[in-house]
Structure 1
Amino acid sequence: MKKYDAIIVGSGPNGFAAAITLQKIGLSTLIVEGADTIGGGMRTKELTLPGFRHDVCSAIHPMAMASPFMRSLPLSNFSLSFVDAKYEAAHPLLREEGTVLHRDLAKTIADLGVDGSYYSDLIEPVVNNWDKLAKDTMGPLGVPKHPFNLAAFGLRAIQPASWLARNFKTERAKALWGGMAAHGIQPLDNLTTSAIGMVLLGVGHRYGWAIPRGGSQSIANALESYYKSLGGEVQTGVWFSDRNELPEHKILLLDMTPKQLLNVKGLDFTSGYTKQLQRYKQGMGVFKIDWALSEETPFTDLRAREAATVHVGGTFNDIALSEEDGQRGKVTDKPFVLFTQQSKFDKTRAPEGKHTGWAYCHIPNGSTVDYTEIIENQIEQFAPGFKDTILARHTFSPAQMEAYNPNYVGGDINGGIMDISQLYTRPILSLNPHRTSNKSVYICSSATPPGGGVHGMCGFHAARIALKDHFNISVSL
C-alpha cells in the first residue's frame, strides 16, 4: 500500500482545510471519507422530487468568505461562485414592521431609526476591524496579535445576548439582535452569546451572507478540485473505525467529534485524555425540513421574500424562550426557525416556476418529537398560504442527522455546545486543543476552536500545529 505523510479522516470543510494546508507544503496526503460523496455538511441532493436540489445541511454561508483560510484559496478558479440576495437576512414580526440586515451598514443603521446609533456603536468596529479580529478569535487561545481590538470586542462579546438586548429601544431591533445571537444554539442568557450575534452582523456587512450557486456541494467540489490540483488524493466509501486498517502514515488528522473518537481502535489515547473526552458536552439538536414548493413563500413582510435567510421567531422574548425550552428539554409550539429559499436567487435549484424551501429549529438533543407540523405552523403565521404551496417534503430528525453525519451527535450541528466552558477549551482544556495524547494524532473537527461553521479554520489550525510539531514548518494566513 502507498505510504503517506498524513491521512485526514473526513471531507467536510475542516478535513479539506487540513489536507490542503499540508498538501500545499509538499506533503503526501490522503482524505478518507465514509460516505459515497464528499462534503460533510456541504452536500446538495434531490431529497424530495426530481429537479429540486436541496442543501442537506448548511445552506447560507456568512463565514465562508469571512474566513481567512477560505479567502486564501483560489476557489473561483475551480467553478465556485456565489449569488446575492437583496438583503442578507430578514426578521418579520406579527404585530409590527420587522427589519432586515442590509449589506450596507449605513442602510441598516438608518432602517433601525432610534436604535441606529447603538447598533453602529456595537457593530461598526467589527466591520472595520474584522481582519484583525479574525486572526485573534478564529482559532485556539494564544497571545493576541491585536490586543486592543480584541479587548474592545471581547468586553461586549463575552456578555449574554440578553444583556445587550436591553440597550435597544424598539422591539424590531431587539428581534433582529436575538435572531442573530440564536445562531449560537444555546439560551440567550448564556455568557458569550453576544459574540455570535456581533460576528454574524459584522461579516454580513463586510462580506454578505453567501449563497453558493448550485448548492453547498459546489463549495465541497471546488475544495476537492483545488486539493487534487495540488496532488492530493481522496477515497470515499471507507468508514474509519481502526487506525491499523489505514495505509501507512506519519500523522493522522481526524475531522471527528469526541463521541466518535472514543469508539475508534488504535488511537492509543491515555486514560486521562480519554476521561476528558468523555466529559465533552453536546449542545441542542436540530429538526430540519426541506420542501419542494409550487411557488415562492408568501411572507406578509415583502422584504422577507428577498432575504437570503429569514428568522421566523417573533420577538426577542419569543426567541429567548424557544432557546431556553430547547436547552431544558421542553417541546415548544413556537420555535425559532431559520428559513431560506435558495431557489429565489439561484434558478439551478428547482424546475422553472417552482421553488425549494429549507428550514430547521433548535430542539432538545436527541429528541424523538416530530416537529414537522410545529415548524410549518410557525412559518404559516408569517406567510399565510405557505402550506398550500408544499408539493413534497423531506425531514431530518436528530437521530437521522447523526446517522447521516456522525459528527452531529444527537442532532448537534455545532459539534458540541459553544458556551463559555467550551468556546475555546474544546474538546479539552488546553492551549493546543487540536493535539491529542497521541503525538501523531490531531483533531481537526468543529469540536476544536473556533467551532462550528463552514470556515475551515479548525482544520487549518490542526494542520498548522502538526506541521510545526513534526516537520518544524511554520505556516500562517
Structure 2
Amino acid sequence: MTDAVVVGSGPNGLAAALTLARAGLRVEVFEAHEHIGGGLRTEPLFDSEVLHDICAAVHPMAPVSPFMRSLDLEGNGVALLHSPAAYAHPLKGGPAALAWRDLDTTCAELGRDGPGWRRLMLPLMERSADVVELMLSSQRTPPNPRALAVLATRLPAQALRAGGGLRTEAARALLTGVAAHGIGRLPSLASAAVALLLGHLAHTTGWPVPRGGSRAVAAVMAAQIERLGGLIHTGVRVDSLRDLPARRLTLLDVSPRELARIAVLPARYLRMLSRYRYGPGAAKADFLIEGAIPWADPRLGQAATVHLGGAHGTAAELARAETATARGLRAPHPYIIVVDPAAADPARAVRGRRPVWAYAHVPHGDTRDPLPMIRAALENHAPGFTDTVIAERGVSAARLGVYNPNYVGGDIASGAMTLWQTLARPVPRWNPYRTPLPGTWLCSSATPPGPSVHGMCGYHAARAALATWPEAARSTPARLGGGGRPLER
C-alpha cells in the first residue's frame, strides 16, 4: 500500500507529488500520456533535431514561484534563458513596441508615455515579492497589505479602460497584449491583475525560456520525486478512482469535468461543479521555418514572445477581439501569442531551422484549423513568413481538449478567468482543494491560484492534505467502492 497517489503529471500534479514526497510520504503518480509533463511537454514534430514545445513555452513564473524556486532549476542544469526584450507588440505601419528587460530602455522608447509606464511599473517592481506572494497564494490567508496597497491604486484604471490611461498607441497596445493573457473579456479586473503581474515581471526576473524546452522543467521535478522513492507510471489512463491502488491520500491534477467523470461524488458537490464555467479556447499552430521570422520591424526578433491582435494591432482592436471571443463569437483578427524560442535559446535553431509556436484565442470548443488565421496574422506583420515555412501543423481548440482533458474545449486556463472564478475555483468553499470524498484532493489549475506554470496549485493542495496526514495515516486505506486492483497499461 502506498501513502499517496497523484493522478496527472502536469506541473501541478508533479508539484503535489514532490511536496508529499519531501514530507516523507510514499507517492505514486499515474499519467495517461506516454510522457510526463502535461503542459510541459517538448517533442520533435517535423525534424528529429528541432524541439517544439507542445503547450507552455515561456515561463515568467518560474523564477518567482516559491515552489518553482525550490526546485533549484539552475543548480539542476536547467538554465532559464532570456531574449533582450521580454515581449513585444507590432503595430501596422509603424514601429513596434517592445518591453525590454531594462525599464529605462523601455520608458525611453515609449516617448511621452515613458513616465506613465514608469509610474505604473516601478512601484510593482519595488514590491514584487509582495505582489507575487499575494497572486500565488491560496487566497484563503490574510492578504499582504503592502501588495494590496500597490495594486489598489492600479487595478481600477486597468480594469476600466484597455491600455489603462496610457496615451500612445504603442504603450496601450503593449499593456493590453499582456492583459490578454487572462483569456477573457477586456478590460476586466481579472485581466488587469494579469497585466500588472506579468507586466512588471518583464522588467525584473523576465519571461524566460528553459534551455532545451519546457520538458526540462518536468524532468527536474520527476527526478526529485524518484530520488525520494516516488514512482511515476506513464501510459496509464484512470477511468475510475476505484482502479487506483490502496492509498491514504489521493490528489487529482484534473479538471472539474474530469473529476466528475472518474469519481462518484455527492449530489450537492456535483451540482456545484456543474456551475463551473469554462472559458475561451486556444487553437495552436506549430511551424518549422528556415531562418528568422521576417518581421517588418526587425527589432521584434529580439523578443521571444510577440503579441498580435486586430488588423493594425491597436489596443482597441485587441480588446474588441478578446471580448467577442469570450462571448463565443469568432473574431476576424483574434489575439495571437507568437513564441520564437530561439530568440532566447539560439541552440533551438538547428542548421538554420527553428521552431515557431503560436496560440490564437478562439471561442470555446472551436473546431477550425487555426493555421490560416495564424499564418495570415504573421504575414500581416512579417511579410514573406509563409515562404520560410518548411512544415506546419494546426490543432483546433476542440482537438486540444481531446489531447489534454484538462483543457476542456481548448480552455488552457482550466476555467474562465472571471473575478468570481479566480476567488472561488472550482466551488465556493473555504478549502477549495478538498473534495467530499475521504482523503481526496483536487490540485489542478482549476484551484487557486489558477493557471500558469507555477506549481502552486499542487503545492497548496499537498500542504492542505498533509495537514490531515496524522488522521489519514490512521484511517482505513482508501478504496472508494472496492478499488485497489492493479492498473494496466
Superimposed CA distance per residue, residues 306-339 of structure 1 (whole angstroms, 9 cap, x where no aligned partner): 1010112201011111112211222223121110
Instruction: Give the match for residue 361 of structure 2.
Output: 362
- The alpha carbon displacement at 1:207 in A equals 0.7
TM-score, normalised by the number of residues in structure 1: 0.95
| 1:273 and 2:262 aligned | no
**Partner of 1:280: helix, strand, or coil?**
coil
The answer for the alignment partner of 2:324 in structure 1 is 325
- The residue number in structure 2 matching 1:229 is 227
CA distance in 2 between counterparts of 1:218 and 1:184 reads 25
8 Å contact from structure 1 (residues 34, 239) kept in 2: yes
Task: Report 1:2-401 matches (<5 A).
Answer: 3-144=1-142, 146-157=144-155, 161-163=159-161, 165-265=163-263, 268-313=264-309, 314-401=313-400
Deviation of 1:275 after TM superposition, in Å, equals: 0.6
CA contact (8 A) 1:426 1:447 kept: yes
When residues 247 and 85 of structure 1 are mapped into structure 2, their CA distance, relative to the original with a 3 A threshold, is: same
Instruction: Tell me if structure 2 keeps the 8 A contact 1:158–1:193.
Output: no
Letter in 2 for 1:57: C
* CA positional deviation for 1:159: 5.9
Alignment size in residue pairs = 469
Change (3 A) 1:121 1:160: closer
Cα deviations across residues 260-312 of structure 1 (Å, max 9, x unaligned)?
A: 011114xx422111111111000100110000101110101121111010112
Residue aligning to 2:475: none
Deviates more, 1:376-385 or 1:71-80: 71-80
Work out the CA distance in 1 between the residues paired with 2:184 and 2:131.
23
2:329, 2:463 → 1: CA distance? 42
Q: Distance in 1 between matches of 2:156 and 2:229?
A: 42
Q: Is the 8 A contact 2:157 2:164 kept in 1?
A: no
1:102-143 alpha-carbon deviations (Å, 9 max, x no partner): 112222222222212222222222212121222222132233
Q: Which amino acid aligns with 1:174?
A: R
Aligned-partner Cα distance in 2 for 1:227–1:164: 43
1:75–1:226 CA contact under 8 A, matched in 2? no
Corresponding residue of 1:416: 415
**CA shift digits 1:235-280 (9 cap, x unpaired):** 1111111112111100100000111011114xx4221111111110
Unaligned runs of 5+ in 2: 473-489
Q: Does the CA-based 8 Å contact 1:291-1:356 persist in structure 2?
A: yes
Change (3 A) 1:121 1:148: same
CA distance, structure 1, for counterparts of residue 14 and residue 388 of structure 2: 38
Cα distance in 2 for partners of 1:470, 1:158 equals 42
Q: Structure 1 49/162 Cα, relative in aligned 2: closer, same or farther at 3 Å?
A: farther
Relative to structure 1, the CA distance from residue 449 to residue 20 in structure 2 (aligned partners, 3 Å threshold; closer, same or farther) is same
In 1: Cα distance, 2:202 partner to 2:193 partner: 14
Q: Quick one: distance in 2 between partners of 1:40 and 1:186?
A: 23
Aligned partner letter, 1:214: G
Q: Distance in 2 between matches of 1:460 and 1:366?
A: 30
> What's the secondary structure of 2:265's corresponding residue?
coil
CA–CA separation in structure 2 for the residues paired with 1:138 and 1:377: 36
Q: Taking structure 1 as reference, are residues 144 and 137 closer, same or farther at Cα in structure 2, changes over 3 Å only?
A: farther
Task: Output the aligned Cα RMSD.
Answer: 1.7
**Does the aligned pair in 1 maintain the 2:289–2:389 contact within 8 Å?**
yes
Please give the per-residue CA displacement for 1:347-373, whole angstroms capped at 9, x wherever unaligned.
Answer: 443431111111011000001122211
Alpha carbons of 1:200 and 1:156: their partners in 2 closer, same or farther (altered >3 Å)?
Answer: same
SS in 2 for 1:41: helix
The residue type paired with residue 135 of structure 1 is E
User: For 1:247 and 1:139, how far apart are their aligned partners in 2?
Assistant: 32
Structure 1: gaps spanning 5 or more residues:
none
Query: What does the per-residue CA deviation read over 1:69-124, in whole Å, with 9 as the maximum and x for residues that have no partner?
Result: 10122233332112221111111111322211111222222222221222222222
Alignment check: 8 A CA contact 2:12 2:459 kept: yes
Is the Cα contact below 8 Å between 1:161 and 1:181 reproduced in 2? no
TM-score (norm 2): 0.92
SS of the residue aligned with 2:368? coil
Relative to structure 1, is the Cα distance of residues 364 and 346 closer, same or farther in structure 2, using a 3 angstrom cutoff? Answer: same
- Residue 423 to residue 154, structure 1, CA distance change in 2 (3 Å): farther
Q: 1:320 to 1:73 in 2, by over 3 A?
A: same
Q: Point out the more displaced range, 228-237 or 179-188.
A: 228-237
Q: 2:262 aligns to what SS in structure 1?
A: coil
Bigger mean CA offset, 149-158 vs 299-308: 149-158
| Structure-2 change in CA distance of 1:20 and 1:167 (3 Å) | same
Matched-pair identity in % = 39
Distance 2:72 2:347 in 1: 23
Can you list the C-alpha shifts for 1:150-176, whole angstroms capped at 9, x where unaligned? 243145336654526251010100000
What amino acid sits opposite 2:369 in the alignment?
D
CA contact (8 A) 2:162 2:187 kept: no
CA deviation map 1:190-221 (0-9, x unaligned): 33211000000111212111111111111111
- In the TM superposition, what is the alpha-carbon distance from 1:34 to its structure 2 partner? 0.7
In the alignment, the residues of structure 2 paired with residue 435 and residue 151 of structure 1 have an alpha-carbon distance, to the nearest angstrom, of 31
CA contact (8 A) 2:371 2:393 kept: no
- 1:463: which partner in 2? 462
